[in-house]
């Protein structure tokens, strides 16, 4: 049985044609009258609009206001096509036409007026004489322009005239009669004309306006003649007194003129506002004077301006007012602009600019921002402007204001590859077209791609995408954004490879001088050396060289972002030389972006990490994911170390070499996790201390085995290693020695003398094995805290320790024992030792007043005598004021006085002791917070010094470069070095105040 034929309604047919609401469209067409319903050409033009429903709605409202419009549209199909095209994109311009239908005849001309024509038109609109040297708005007449103090009608007239021309331009834009560049230039010219008219309004209100020459300098997109449909218009003002006029009075007059001009553009009227005039790019920004003389501008730029200010001046152009003065200003500042890349802090300023751009993206909006988001307009503009600053010093052909023309010049000069320039230009054009359509809809300043399907459909159809407007638009937009981000990352670096590697001559190359200039501008201190490394890595036809050519454009950027780009590139070359033929290495870096990124940043930050990696380059494999950098459990490491010792039982040095290789690998893992922000400083101390415990245990086992084999008799005693100092407190740093004491207990039936000799041999062998010259970092065993110090026996029996402590123990030894902890050897013996020293370090009644005074005197003497000669007490992290020693002595004094009665204080860890003291009311919580902050800061600096320099140090370095590297490793921006030093001074100054009160007076 055949299905009945489907009868399609008019509403259904309209929906099929593209209307979102077919029934409503049918009703509106009926209301237009039978002539409109039968006018298929009219319907066809409505359907072709980006939003047919919006176009029809606006047309319906217009016909209600002026029924003659339909006849005009029938008589002039070109006018109809233009107007309906705008109606389908811009509700705001449609509203303007409904309010002012008389504007329609003015847009019939396909020709766009010249800047002079626009200026004349806007001036006439406000009642000013276009031929006057300094046009002034006429006094108000009925329906005309305003006189002094009554500028409202003139402002309204300016807005109507401006929007009439904006409508005209939109009709040309929508119908494809002008390119993006032509539309943007026309918008800038229209803005210039409006500014001139606004200045004429201001002159009518300001007495003595003729006493001063005032030039309005367009900046940003206005200066570059690439303006948006709705945007803040960036300007700066420069003024000079006319002959015989006092400069101060002239500048005051110019300031009133500038304020009046800005108000004439931004004030709200029944016809709305034009746009904000933004003068924040002036010297000193909002804090600086609105108007300056030429001399004042130049004095500021010569002495105080930052690189971003010269970047802004790339686009400076006279747009209104005294154009001759404006040209003089632009000529003067251009001489400074093109030397900006040679300034001392150019690199730091560039990095700060990049961070500023990224910081301006509101949280949650980045994925929909076509201006500031990843792969957005700012990525293209920033890259182009930076390349102009770097290479425009020596190549005047790059000195262009507009982005697309500058990009074309960079391509012609070989500074950007032709294919890359083409892709960037296409993306820029697409994104600007989207930006224009977004802003046209409501004439609002926006850069956000909407999420609403109807809005996305309007954008897609406006771009000519009719099959699947939403899907096609989204796909195209994302493709361009990804391509822009990729090209932004490689734009500075790909040409460097062509400059030094023997690649096919497919396009112009950078000269060696240009490549050197670019590297220097990006932060490489030795650009010639960097070029040699790049050449060594990428030259040739091997698979390795081919992959390096793919990797390096991105990695060079990551090196440039690191504290020490030169060290990063050198380290990468060294690691690649060792691993370049290993199949997985380059594949890992090519396929795992996170691994390559992390490697670049680590090599460019830490000589310590680089040194570890060069002796075990296979450790690169663990950079693939954060999970690989997680600290491994001590039990797992102990089992691995024990297996290594067992494998080489007959060869002690080989066995401990294997254990030290394990330690090197785990040091690398911990350092990488530390520098990547995956663990904090307390976790670092815990990880390093546990690793040292495992290493000492393995070395002790190896030594016992060796001594036993040499004696050819069973080992006659039990041995334990007691951790002291930072090792005992589980607070080891990368540079820490292992402070320990050795204790033994002869086995029943053994000869005590024989046991002592064997124990001493094991202790010495343990120390020797861990300190042997080797590629792996040594672990120095320091037993200087034992009874009688270096004069006493290296190993004692537990009975000997008991006898010594009962009779001879001093207060400092009791204090040192606060950190005593079993770390290796016989666990039961370790527990016995800890139990032995408990009454000494935690006296039941606390310590006497005499003992407290003695401890304070000892501390004061240490401060006076142990600080290295020439060291700044405010910057020495260990012995300086408010440093580690200060905080630790406070914690230890509290423990000596109270731990006997307060068990929670019985800990070897400094911060745990302070927290417990605050919890028990023995220390003010605010004081605990101050002390902990200083201790953590000082500990981070000591570790960072070792990581950055590859050697131990306790003081914040004096050389500026070293301070910068240290500050960067600690997370400060390039310009934040002094902030870092001041933060440390502040933290330790506050801590020292607490120490003075709690330790010395409490």
User: What is the structure's pLDDT at 142?
Assistant: 41
Q: Token digits for 743? A: 């204790």
Q: How far is CA 927 from the centre of its chain?
A: 34
pLDDT tens digits, residue range 957-966? 999 999 999 9
Q: Given its phi and psi angles, is residue 364 left (phi above 0), alpha (psi -120 to 50 degrees) or beta?
A: left
Q: Is the pLDDT of residue 674 over 60?
A: yes
Mean pLDDT of the chain: 90
Which token pair is 211?
A: 């006493």
Cβ neighbours of residue 737 under 8 Å, at least 6 residues apart?
Answer: 779, 780, 781, 782
Q: At 5, is the pLDDT very low, low, confident or very high (cuts 50, 70, 90)?
A: very low
Residue position matching structure tokens 């030039």: 215
* Mean pLDDT, rounded, for 199-214: 94
Spatial distance between the Cα atoms of 343 and 579, rounded to a whole number of angstroms? 39
Give the range among 24-38, 319-333, 382-396, 889-903 with minimum mean pLDDT.
Answer: 24-38
At residue 146, the pLDDT reads: 39
Query: E strands within 634-729?
Result: 717-723
Give the Cα separation of 317 and 217 in Å (integer): 5
Q: What is the pLDDT of residues 778-829, one digit of tens each?
A: 999 999 999 988 889 999 999 999 999 999 888 889 999 999 999 999 999 9
CA distance 67 to 71: 8
Give dist(CA 899, CA 905) in Å, integer: 5
Rounded mean pLDDT, 203-226: 95
Query: Which residues, other chains included, contact 751 with Cβ-Cβ below 8 Å and sequence gap of 6+?
Result: 716
For residue 734, what pLDDT band results from cuts at 50, 70 and 90? very high
- Residue 208 backbone zone (phi > 0: left; psi -120 to 50: alpha; other: beta): left
Q: How far apart are CA 112 and CA 135, in angstroms?
A: 23
141 closest CA partner among 131, 129, 150, 132: 150
Give the CA count within 13 Å in the CB-facing half-sphere of 902: 20
Q: What is the pLDDT of residues 833-851, one digit of tens each?
A: 999 999 999 999 999 999 9
The alpha-helical segments, DSSP class H, found in 345-417 are 346-359, 377-391, 403-412
**Looking at residue 868, what DSSP letter applies?**
P
**688/631 Cα distance (integer angstroms):** 10
pLDDT band per the 50, 70, 90 thresholds, residue 617: confident
Instruction: Look up residue 233 and give its DSSP letter.
Output: E
**Cα(416)–Cα(687) distance, integer angstroms:** 47
pLDDT value of position 625:
85
Core vs surface per residue 330-344: b (16+ CB within 10 A) or e: beebbebbbebbebe
In angstroms, the Cα distances linking 690 to 295, 682, 822 are 66, 12, 12
Q: Is the pTM of this model over 0.85?
A: no
Asked if residues 257 and 214 have their Cβ atoms less than 8 Å apart, the reply is: yes
The structure tokens listed for 611 are 């040194």
Longest Cα separation, the chain: 124
Q: Is the pLDDT of residue 493 over 80?
A: no
Whole-number Å distance between alpha carbons of 199 and 319: 11
CB neighbour list of residue 572: distance below 8 Å, 6 or more residues apart: 533, 537, 555, 559, 599, 600, 603
Mean pLDDT of the region 238-247: 95
Q: State the angle between helix axes of 593-603 and 652-675 in degrees (0 to 180), rounded to the nearest 10.
A: 100
Instruction: State how far the Cα of 117 lies from the Cα of 584, in Å rounded to an integer.
Output: 67
Confidence of residue 145 (pLDDT cuts 50, 70, 90): very low
Q: Token pair of 881, please?
A: 């004021």
Work out whether the CA dihedral 983, 989, 993, 998 comes out positive or negative: positive
**pLDDT (0 to 100) of residue 509:** 67
SS3 label, residue 874: coil
Query: Residues 646-664: what's their mean pLDDT?
Result: 92
For the stretch 45-98, pLDDT in tens is: 999 999 999 999 999 999 999 988 998 999 899 999 999 999 999 999 999 999
At 500 the pLDDT is 66
pLDDT, tens digit (0-9, with 9 covering 90-100), for 558-611 = 898 899 999 999 999 998 888 877 777 877 887 787 888 899 999 999 999 999
* Closest C-alpha among 248, 278, 247 to residue 261: 278
Q: Counting beta carbons within 10 angstroms of the beta carbon of residue 853, is it exposed (0 to 12), middle (13 to 18) or buried (19 or more)?
A: exposed
pLDDT of residue 110 exceeding 80, the answer is no
Query: Are 464 and 114 contacting, i.e. CB atoms less than 8 angstroms apart?
Result: no
Instruction: Report the pLDDT value the prediction gives residue 356, as an integer from 0 to 100.
Output: 72
pLDDT tens digit string along 510-545?
788 888 888 888 889 999 999 999 999 888 777 788
Question: Using CA atoms, how far apart are residues 167 and 107, in angstroms rounded to an integer?
Answer: 8
**pLDDT recorded at residue 7:** 47
Q: Which helix (H) or strand (E) holds 716?
A: none
* CA triple 533-534-535, angle to 5 deg: 90
- In sequence order, the 6+-apart residues with CB closer than 8 A to the CB of 865 are none
b/e burial code for range 49-82 (CB count within 10 A of at least 16 → b): bbbbbbbbbbbbbbbeeeeebbebbeeeeebbbb
pLDDT band for position 420 (cuts 50, 70, 90): confident
Contact between residue 122 and residue 196 where contact means Cβ atoms under 8 Å apart: yes
Residue 984's pLDDT is 97
SS3 state at 330 = helix
Res 955 pLDDT > 80: yes
* Contact (CB, 8 A) for 853 and 959: no
pLDDT at site 1? 42
Residue with tokens 């890259």: 383
Strand residue runs (E) in 194-329: 212-218, 233-241, 277-278, 291-293, 317-321
Percentage of residues of the chain with pLDDT beyond 70: 95
Q: How far, in Å, CA of 700 to CA of 652, rounded?
A: 10
pLDDT value of residue 147: 39
**What pLDDT score was predicted for residue 15?**
83
Q: Please give the distance of CA 776 from its chain centroid, rounded to a whole number.
A: 35
**Calpha distance 378→368 (Å, rounded):** 14
Whole-angstrom distance between the N-terminal and C-terminal Cα of the chain?
Answer: 104
Give Cα separations from 3 to 7, 13, 16 (angstroms).
Answer: 12, 20, 22
Per-residue pLDDT of 684-723, as tens digits, reads: 999 999 999 999 999 999 999 999 999 999 999 999 999 9
């Amino acid at each position: 049985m055949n299905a009945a034929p489907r009868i399609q309604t008019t509403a259904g047919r309209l929906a099929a044609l593209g209307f979102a609401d077919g029934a409503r469209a049918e009703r509106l067409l009926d209301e237009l009258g039978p002539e409109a319903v039968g006018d298929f050409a009219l319907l066809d033009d409505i359907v072709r609009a980006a939003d047919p429903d919006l176009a029809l709605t606006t047309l319906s409202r217009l016909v209600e206001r002026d029924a003659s419009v339909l006849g005009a549209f029938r008589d002039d199909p070109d006018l109809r096509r233009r107007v309906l095209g705008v109606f389908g994109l811009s509700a705001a311009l449609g509203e303007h036409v409904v309010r002012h239908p008389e504007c329609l005849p003015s847009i019939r001309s396909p020709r766009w007026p010249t800047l002079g024509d626009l200026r004349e038109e806007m001036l006439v609109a406000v009642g000013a004489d276009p031929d006057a040297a300094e046009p002034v708005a006429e006094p108000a007449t009925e329906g005309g322009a305003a006189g002094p103090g009554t500028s409202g009608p003139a402002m309204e007239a300016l807005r109507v005239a401006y929007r009439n021309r904006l409508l005209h331009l939109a009709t040309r834009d929508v119908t494809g009669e002008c390119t993006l560049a032509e539309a943007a230039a026309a918008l800038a010219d229209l803005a210039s004309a409006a500014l001139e008219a606004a200045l004429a309004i201001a002159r009518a209100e300001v007495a003595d306006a003729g006493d001063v020459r005032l030039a309005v300098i367009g900046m940003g997109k206005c200066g570059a003649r690439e303006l948006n449909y709705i945007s803040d218009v960036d300007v700066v003002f420069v003024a000079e007194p006319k002959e015989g006029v006092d400069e101060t009075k002239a500048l005051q007059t110019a300031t009133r003129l500038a304020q009046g001009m800005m108000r004439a553009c931004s004030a709200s009227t029944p016809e709305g506002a034009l746009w904000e005039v933004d003068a924040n790019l002036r010297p000193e920004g909002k804090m600086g004077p609105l108007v300056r003389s030429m001399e004042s501008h130049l004095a500021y730029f010569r002495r105080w301006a930052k690189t971003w200010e010269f970047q802004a001046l790339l686009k400076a152009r006279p747009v209104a007012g005294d154009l001759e003065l404006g040209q003089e200003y632009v000529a003067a500042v251009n001489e400074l602009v093109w030397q900006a890349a040679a300034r001392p802090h150019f690199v730091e300023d560039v990095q700060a600019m990049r961070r500023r751009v990224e910081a301006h993206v509101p949280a949650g909006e980045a994925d929909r921002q076509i201006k500031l988001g990843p792969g957005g307009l700012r990525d293209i503009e920033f890259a182009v402007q930076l390349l102009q600053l770097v290479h425009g010093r020596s190549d005047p052909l790059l000195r262009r204001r507009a982005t697309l023309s500058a990009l074309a010049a960079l391509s012609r000069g070989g500074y950007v590859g032709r294919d890359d320039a083409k892709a960037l230009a296409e993306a820029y054009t697409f994104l600007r077209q989207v930006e224009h359509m977004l802003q046209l809809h409501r004439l609002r300043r926006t850069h956000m791609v909407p999420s609403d399907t109807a809005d996305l459909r309007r954008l897609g159809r406006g771009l000519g995408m009719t099959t699947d407007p939403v899907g096609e638009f989204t796909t195209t937009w994302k493709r361009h954004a990804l391509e822009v981000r990729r090209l932004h990352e490689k734009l500075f670096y790909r040409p460097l490879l062509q400059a030094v590697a023997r690649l096919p001559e497919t396009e112009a190359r950078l000269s060696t001088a240009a490549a050197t200039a670019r590297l220097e501008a990006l932060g490489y201190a030795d650009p010639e050396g960097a070029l040699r490394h790049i050449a060594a890595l990428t030259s040739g036809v091997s698979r390795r060289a081919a992959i390096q050519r793919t990797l390096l454009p991105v990695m060079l950027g990551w090196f440039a972002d690191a504290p020490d780009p030169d060290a990063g590139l050198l380290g990468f070359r060294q690691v690649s030389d060792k691993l370049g033929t290993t199949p997985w290495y380059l594949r890992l870096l090519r396929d795992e972006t996170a691994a390559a990124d992390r490697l670049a940043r680590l090599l460019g930050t830490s000589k310590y990490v680089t040194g570890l990696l060069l002796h075990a380059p296979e450790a690169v494999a663990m950079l693939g994911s954060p999970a690989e950098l997680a600290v491994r459990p001590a039990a797992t490491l102990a089992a691995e170390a024990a297996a290594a010792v067992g494998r080489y039982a007959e060869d002690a040095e080989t066995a401990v070499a294997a254990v030290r290789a394990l330690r090197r690998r785990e040091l690398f893992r911990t350092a990488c996790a530390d520098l990547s922000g995956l663990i904090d400083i307390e976790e670092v101390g815990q990880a390093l201390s546990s690793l040292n415990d495992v290493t000492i245990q393995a070395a002790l086992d190896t030594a016992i085995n060796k001594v036993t084999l040499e004696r050819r008799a069973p080992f006659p005693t039990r041995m334990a290693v007691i951790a002291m100092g930072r090792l005992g407190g589980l607070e080891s740093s990368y540079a820490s020695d292992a402070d320990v004491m050795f204790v033994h207990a002869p086995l029943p039936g053994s000869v005590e003398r024989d046991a002592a000799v064997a124990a001493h041999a094991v202790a010495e062998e343990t120390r020797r094995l861990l300190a042997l010259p080797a590629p792996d970092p040594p672990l120095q065993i320091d037993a200087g805290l034992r009874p009688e110090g270096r004069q006493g026996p290296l190993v004692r029996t537990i009975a000997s320790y008991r006898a010594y402590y009962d009779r001879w123990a001093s207060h400092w030894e009791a204090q040192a024992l606060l950190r005593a902890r079993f770390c290796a050897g016989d666990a039961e013996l370790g527990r016995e030792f800890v139990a032995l020293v408990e009454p000494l370090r935690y006296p039941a009644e606390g310590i006497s007043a005499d003992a407290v005074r003695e401890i304070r005197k000892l501390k004061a003497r240490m401060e006076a005598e142990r600080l290295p000669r020439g060291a700044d007490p405010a910057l020495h992290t260990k012995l300086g004021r408010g440093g580690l020693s200060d905080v630790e002595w406070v914690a230890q004094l509290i423990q000596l006085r109270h731990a006997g009665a307060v068990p929670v204080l019985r800990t070897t860890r400094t911060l745990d002791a302070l927290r417990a003291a605050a919890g028990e009311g023995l220390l003010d919580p605010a004081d605990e917070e101050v002390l902990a902050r200083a201790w953590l800061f000082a500990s981070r600096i000591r570790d960072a010094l070792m990581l950055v320099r590859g050697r131990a140090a306790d003081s914040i370095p004096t050389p500026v470069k070293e301070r910068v590297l240290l500050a960067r490793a600690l997370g400060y921006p390039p310009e934040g070095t002094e902030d870092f030093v001041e933060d440390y001074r502040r933290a330790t100054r506050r801590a020292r105040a607490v120490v003075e009160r709690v330790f010395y007076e409490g």
